[in-house]
Structure 1
């Protein structure tokens, strides 16, 4: 007697992050429920990364910054972190302005230079 193996690779499936789609303006009353959902999804998945699709949040403002900061705090308390998907460049600029750093999909890590970028050296610069 043989059994059919489950579809997909177990190792890959275990590393796939959960996704939370944030749409429309989020009110202050909805924030605690979203924080609970972040904690629940991280604990259920066991991966440690929750992808937050922020493309539908609308124009970035301090309310969005507050929401993302609270979601990141909830994720950290659950032993994980959030990664932003489909974030507007102005949202990244606003987050940098207030001093918050978020991992974003499709961006190189800060320690790694972007592909195809070379540092220019001026003639006469001392060797380091």
Structure 2
């Protein structure tokens, strides 16, 4: 897990200075640690205060074997972000995690970054 402060161009309003990167396999032992680190980052964002309702970016593209433990981590991180008046936005969401979030109803709770358009699948004409 990595927290990074975003830096941008001078004079550009940075809406979201907090980013979280989750990589590898997420075990139940690290879920609480992820929440504590996010709470710390939200308590001291550094630089200008983010706008009310700003999102916390969470890059989950590097996770391996997404499972229900990762879904629990996402739910708890979303709760931590919501308690601070922000939302959790997932980036680079693997298809397996997207399916699990849909299954448990969390896809409507967290913001999922839209990926590139999938190529149109054509069904051959049965004639």
Establish whether TM, by shorter chain, passes 0.5: yes
Could you say which residue in structure 1 is the equivalent of 2:64? 58
Q: TM-score, normalised by structure 1?
A: 0.68
Could you say which residue in structure 2 is the equivalent of 1:8? 10
8 Å CA contact retained: 1:42, 1:49? no
Could you say which residue in structure 1 is the equivalent of 2:82? 76
The structure that is helix-richer by fraction is: 1
Structure 2 unaligned residues grouped into runs of 5+: 1-8, 118-127
Aligned residues: 100
In 2, Cα distance between equivalents of 1:88 and 1:31? 19
> What is the alpha-carbon root mean square deviation over aligned residues?
2.0
The structure that is strand-richer by fraction is: 2
SS of residue matched to 2:97: helix
Structure 1 unaligned residues grouped into runs of 5+: 1-6, 108-113, 115-128
In 1, Cα distance between equivalents of 2:104 and 2:57? 21
